[in-house]
Structure 1
């Protein structure tokens, strides 16, 4: 083993991070800032996995702008670091004074050990900070132009800071003494904290100002002692980052090269007598362990970047994976980390996508579908194998792009120090797994020991449990058990709630990403919610179904009440509905599944929901797979939730513009419309329901029944009249009959509170009569005597009033039966 390798091995054994040549290629991001924001100011932070269309070159002006950004970040970080050093040194004078008394807190030797080289390091960084601040303050940006020589002339070329970095690195040897002394210093602090209450109080209450906001951060003595040890590693990292953003013709380039060389040499040449390699032990004797890892989309300044996220016992670490080349090992680059102590989580439901995003995703999916077809065609022959390999590579690249741009679920991470990071997920199920894992660790209140970022990041290769992004295209062998065709899921109902809540069900499938893999029911507010909503998926390679039940509050803070995963087995599923009851925590959700295998068509752009207003009710019911259209049920449920005590409900109408807005929403997106219902005025909701019936092309009670119903009014015996009217009702088409019965039961419940809402059965009949029952139009093939217009309204109101007076109305069926002759299957999760 040569001297270089011996030095590297020793430094690693001593827990001193080493930037070896192979690692320098990936250490491009600026990690010289505060740990929780290290990646935010890096000029190369937008690089992600190697997409085929990712640009790698930039102009000199862009490099200089990024360089300026890096320098400003360094200045801010230096300011924070100096405040931390001042907080560490604050008790030094008092401890030295007490050392000469009869009851010293620390002896003179212990004081010297604890603060060894810290004042000198502080003075070195103070000088560097002042010099850099003066240079940046004097720097005044101007517009770029071109000199006569053709070279770029930009104010960034006039900003020279290389000498400041060289001067600082020439004094970096001060850190050598600190590193050699570090273990002994920590041991003194630990022992004195245990034995002396005075020192323990001091060690647990050291504070550092956070700058202009005048807030203060509390540190332990040991945490502050770790700051210089952590800082020396970052010096090399930031020099490499700064050099990457400095054009070769810049006057600082040569100086920064020399500075970086000296910094590397220092790391390689740390004295072998250092004994600072300690186990990373957290409070309560727990060791830092990797609990979960996976690929997520990190949002940085509005841009989406695919990252590898690692959840440790006490912190979240975000890294960038750089795949190995030429047989070398994969490497990770540090992006940011957040301690779990005090971390707050907030997830935001599906916010939808813009038309541009839909078009982009459709283009990617179409290309993926064509590449998949090519793969199947190239399955034979040597030339076919070569083409297949090329097509598979392109397919993986396209799926990576889709993985980056398709997520719509947001998980926000908020630390006590006001640092915030946003992660995106395409799967609500996966988001909830991450949220549960993080929440469980944060409740344990584990104290964070500041990590050695390079060592921790380098260890990710060995510790990781997830090797690659979750790409379905990497499966080389086709699974005959996976589904290919149409999978239909009918979500029926849920039970097990302790109190009424507004719930919706989210259903996800896996497989190739050619088609939408996630759908949700509309929201229902009830103690025992019923949706009876059918969701349909085009699946290719599907093997698992995931179901989540979500509670939606008025504050838009959704909560997952339970989740379950179901294995999709082609041998069991068929074209007949199969009912299942899933246990989602304390909830039971009943649904039915059916599967129709068939070759799939190329993915089409997302079709707009077909309108439901001004469309025959039978058409809407058939399209939704129900007997009572969702618009009727949603409006009725919302009125019963908060409009039963409203004076003049159904008589007093809401604003026309608000009713029109809700109508448009129902015609385009059911879930969005139901969300809008929950915040709309209740008179607007009742107005939407009346408008739906009024705009039906054919009234709810068919026109051919008008004459027959009018004649029943001449029957004097009330019971005989009701029998005759109910008999006529049975001749209506199923959607008309069940929707009418559903509405009648609702209006009866409204009239039960007529003392409050002033809406009697007669009032309700007068309001709804003209919308539900209309006479035939003369000259359109209808025979029989015509009714005087003055009597028409009377007949409409009296017919509805008679139906409302019936105490034994048949119950309404809201959905088509999805049961089979097989027994129900209960899936326990």
Structure 2
């Protein structure tokens, strides 16, 4: 038998067979579920969603569970390192023979720093095992009431700090990793003896079950291990009371671990380039998960953006012992690539119902997991349901996005991507625009090599799933209200709307938009948007310009951190800097327990509803319908002959009425393309169908009496005094309308609508007696006389040159002075 085979057989019998532990638990395979979940896995131990309300005893019990899980996973990791060392020694022994499998230099390259890593983790494992064993003996010998004290005495912070201080060894391993893998691949192709070894490496478990790994998969284990260290330290710190002696050491270990990973990430950024022909270099710019739709079927895909092309792949979890892989889906060269995004994509009704059912199930399942903080149902039940929750969130990520990005290549190929966030879509679109603006040389890529490299080059490790995260105690749970007031800094007049998004669990709607303003340099909305939030930590704000028949343009965007300490139940006004645009808004936050998500909340109707109720629902003093119609008439109807006298078609008015009763944003979009006479007609119809007239009926007789005052100024003083006694919403809406009609009358030489003409049109709609046709004593009133009173009252108001200004929105009281937040 060859020396190589002899050395390998000897080392297998001496080392591998002695390794113990439960090999069924592979801490790096997400689908692995055992009697105890490793804290290094993506599914961490079942902590409560927040530990702030836990007793110290509960926290220390959780800490002990974490430490035992770490010990088990360390044992598995040591067996993996032992497997590498076994073959390293065998290969090194054969290198000194006349027929070496590999040269000494190749062995050194492949197994660089592995022995040193083994020493560090063996020392850590031995120390942790000894302390946990001593603690277990103390628990068995102590009375029940002394267990708490025993848990407090267990200290391991120094062990973790010592281990983290040796992370520099991983720096060398990571620097050498690509060289090691390259040697393994080349030798596997050229050397049959090495191929046999590299493709079938065995690790024995405590139950004598052998698991097969490839050499390349085992070499990847240290990379995964070092990236999981931070997660372990977070779990430990979360379960360690602040006053415990371990807290400071674990905090420092976490800081050092995060610092090390940051340094590795920065160093690896410069190595994300792929060499091409003709001296060109291809570099990965960004990547992330998107929804790709093909022939009506949606799929979650991993998108990689390089300097010259866009690569779409599907991620495939590898079988045990193998390395994860990416499969090629499609690619598009960036040269000549055209982009078009669509904001108004509607989901099919059946999809909306299914998503709502899915959200409800997710909410209830998460509640069950939250209530099972003591683990009464067992860790297997918890693991299974966390996996189920993860699968449901993946479905939600696949079918809920509504923002569509169409990609068109000069070759005729087209693809459609969907995003759940306008903010993320704009980041992708902005990056693509910057790259496609340059003259890009299109070189056909080696798709096999490029797709294979995705595992090493990826920046996004997996879809961002909230269900796998422990709830942060600083995240918000309750209702966040945002009142969008105005914007300034526009370079030219535009129809603008503001989009607000929040993060957190997707049980509730996370995105809302204002209506589109009238074309202006300083748009105003005073529109309130409200969100039910669960686990929210940030808010994204975008200012978007809307053009008829053209693609919307994002004028600016920013992110605001949501912190409960900086929010309160009172409105707080601030100004955000979104590029060159400033948006002024107010925010408030009301924390409370959330109920299961119900059916999408339908907007309450606005027609035939008391104006006070409509204004209260919208949080304004002048209803949005009135303001939107007035702004649209002033935008394109001031020179329309007979505006307000000539009505639009009944079908157009009916369509607009239905839209305002169901969806304000859709209604405003329809206003943009509707005949201007239909816009004026729907405004008149709104006032005509109010259950109570805009000018309260109890003022009818008093206003009629003021018409007997001959002096116009004295009459107006009396009429304005009477108006002050009317409710705030009625008064401000009436004043808002009067100012608008005065501006219309200023163009009477073109539109032929004088103040008297406008008073004749609006009088009967704005002012009515308590009971039409009757005096207060019950006597019959001449209808023609009633109309004269209605017209003359409105005409008198329109003749005033000093009408008070209308206040369109409610006052948003602030705890502090206005502040400008530059983001």
Pairwise CA distance, 1:382: 6.2
CA RMSD of aligned residues (A): 1.8
CA separation of 1:280 and 1:780: change in aligned 2, threshold 3 A: farther
Could you say which residue in structure 1 is the equivalent of 2:613? 619
Q: CA 1:557–1:783 in 2, change beyond 3 Å: closer, same or farther?
A: farther
In 2: Cα distance, 1:429 partner to 1:636 partner: 31
In structure 2, the residue matched to 1:411 is: 405
| TM superposition shift of 1:399 | 0.5
- Deviation of the 1:350 alpha carbon: 2.8
The answer to whether the 8 Å contact 2:773/2:780 transfers is no
Q: Which residue of 2 aligns with 1:280?
A: 275
Matching residue of 1:135:
none
Matches within 5 A, 1:730-809: 730-777=724-771, 787-809=781-803
Task: Report if aligned partners of 1:378, 1:385 keep a CA contact under 8 Å in 2.
Answer: no
The CA deviation at 1:281 is 3.9
What CA distance in whole angstroms lies between the structure 2 residues aligned with 1:433 and 1:282? 30
Q: Runs of 5+ in structure 2 lacking a partner?
A: 5-272
Deviation by residue 1:326-366 (Cα, 9 ceiling, x = unmatched): 24322100000000011111111132323212211100100
Contact (CA 8 Å) 1:282, 1:446: kept in 2 or not? no
Aligned length: 552
2:676 maps to 682
| CA contact 1:592–1:819 (8 Å) conserved in 2 | no
Cα contact 1:307–1:321 (8 A) shared by 2? yes
Displacement of 1:786 after TM fit?
A: 5.6
Q: Does 1:571 align with 2:565?
A: yes
Match of 2:64 in 1: none
SS of 2:668's equivalent?
A: helix
* Alignment-derived partner of residue 552 in structure 1: 546
Does structure 1 conserve the Cα–Cα contact (< 8 Å) formed by 2:304 and 2:310? yes
2-structure distance, mates of 1:384, 1:675: 54
Name the counterpart of 1:398.
392
Aligned match of 1:186: none
Match of 2:701 among 698, 707, 710: 707
Query: Which residue pairs with 1:14 in the alignment?
Result: none
How has the CA–CA distance of structure 1 residues 790 and 671 changed in structure 2, closer, same or farther, with 3 Å as cutoff?
same
> d(CA) in 1 for partners of 2:326 and 2:413?
23
CA shift at 1:391, angstroms? 1.5
CA contact (8 A) 1:546 1:566 kept: yes
Residue 666 of structure 2: which of 643, 650, 672 is its match? 672
The reply to whether residue 515 of structure 1 matches residue 514 of structure 2 is no
Distance in 1 separating the partners of 2:496 and 2:434? 24
**How far does the alpha carbon of each residue in 1:597-641 deviate from its partner, in whole angstroms, 9 at most, with x for none?**
000010001122111000000000000000000000000000000
Instruction: Answer yes or no: is the 8 Å Cα contact 1:332–1:458 preserved in 2.
Output: yes
2:581 to 570, 578, 587: 587
Q: Tell whether 2:598 aligns with 1:604.
A: yes
Distance 1:377 1:325 in 2: 34
1:654 corresponds to: 648
Aligned equivalents of 1:391, 1:713: Cα separation in 2? 76
2:799 & 2:446 partners in 1: Cα distance?
Answer: 78
2:339 to 341, 345, 355: 345
| CA deviation after TM superposition for structure 1 residue 497, in Å | 1.2
SS of aligned partner of 1:288: strand
Aligned-partner Cα distance in 2 for 1:543–1:328: 37
C-alpha distance in 1 between matches for 2:321 and 2:534: 34
Q: Contact 1:315/1:340 (CA < 8 Å) preserved in 2? A: yes
Please give the per-residue CA displacement for 1:19-39, whole angstroms capped at 9, x wherever unaligned. Answer: xxxxxxxxxxxxxxxxxxxxx
Q: Deviations over 1:247-295 (max 9, x none)?
A: xxxxxxxxxxxxxxxxxxxxxxxxxxxxxxx962477x65211100000
Q: Which residue of 2 aligns with 1:369?
A: 363
Residues 775, 781 of structure 2: 8 Å contact kept = no
Alignment of 1:693 with 2:693, yes or no, is: no
Contact 2:573 2:812 in 1 (8 A): yes
Matches of 1:641 and 1:757 in 2, distance apart? 14
Please list the CA deviations of residues 457-513 of structure 1 after superposition, one character each: whole Å capped at 9, or x if unmatched.
0100000000111211110x2201000000001010001112211111110000001
Does residue 811 of the first structure (1) align with residue 805 of the second (2)? Answer: yes
CA gap of 1:783–1:618, structure 2 versus 1, over 3 A, is farther
Rounded to whole Å, the distance in 2 between the matches of 1:811 and 1:779 is 33
Q: 2:525 and 2:564 mapped to 1: Cα distance? A: 26
Pairing of 1:137-176 with structure 2 (within 5 A): none
Equivalent position to 1:502, from 495, 509, 521: 495
Asked if 2 retains the 8 angstrom alpha-carbon contact of 1:550 and 1:558, the reply is yes
* Contact 1:581 1:590 (8 Å CA) reproduced: yes
Measure the CA separation in 2 of the matches of 1:578 and 1:693.
34
Q: Residue 495 of structure 1 contacts residue 588 of structure 1 at CA under 8 Å; is this kept in 2?
A: yes
Which deviations, in whole Å up to 9, do the C-alpha atoms of 1:126-170 show, x marking residues without a partner? xxxxxxxxxxxxxxxxxxxxxxxxxxxxxxxxxxxxxxxxxxxxx
Asked if 1:388 is matched to 2:382, the reply is yes
Corresponding residue for 1:645? 639
* Counterparts of 1:279 and 1:686, CA distance in 2: 62
The residue correspondences of 1:104-503 to structure 2 (distance < 5 A) are: 280-281=275-276, 286-381=280-375, 383-475=377-469, 477-503=470-496
Going from structure 1 to structure 2, the CA distance change for 1:417 and 1:463 (only over 3 Å counts) comes to: same
1:751 to 1:512, Cα distance in 2 relative to 1, 3 A: same
Conserved in 2, the CA contact under 8 Å of 1:614 and 1:695? yes
Q: Under a length normalisation based on structure 2, what TM-score does the superposition of the two structures give?
A: 0.66
What are the Cα deviations for residues 746-799 of structure 1, in whole angstroms up to 9, with x where unaligned? Answer: 000000000000000000000000000001117999557663211011100000
TM-score by length of 1: 0.65
Question: What SS does structure 1 have at the residue aligned with 2:455?
Answer: helix
In structure 1, distance between residues paired with 2:506 and 2:815:
34
Judge conservation of contact 2:311–2:332 (CA < 8 Å) in 1: yes
d(CA) in 2 for partners of 1:783, 1:570: 60
Find the residue that maps to 2:311 and give its secondary structure. strand
CA contact (8 A) 2:570 2:815 kept: no
User: Aligned with 1:604: secondary structure?
Assistant: coil
* Contact 1:342–1:415 (8 Å) recurs in 2: yes
Unaligned runs of 5+ in 1: 3-277
Residues 783, 507 of structure 1: alpha-carbon distance in 2 compared, 3 angstrom cutoff:
farther
Q: Is the 8 A contact 1:496 1:586 kept in 2?
A: yes
Are residues 708 and 279 of structure 1, via their aligned partners in 2, closer, same or farther at CA, if it must alter by over 3 Å? closer
**Structure 1 residue 555 displacement after superposition:** 0.8
Per-residue CA shift, 1:677-704, capped at 9, x if unaligned? 0000000000000000000000000111
Residue matched to 2:535: 541
Q: Aligned pair in 2 of structure 1 residues 778, 554: CA closer, same or farther (>3 Å)?
A: closer
**Who is 2:33 aligned against?**
none
Q: Match of 1:823?
A: 817
Contact 2:611–2:690 (CA<8 Å) still a contact in 1? Answer: yes
**Cα distance, 1:747–1:781 mapped onto 2, change above 3 Å:** closer
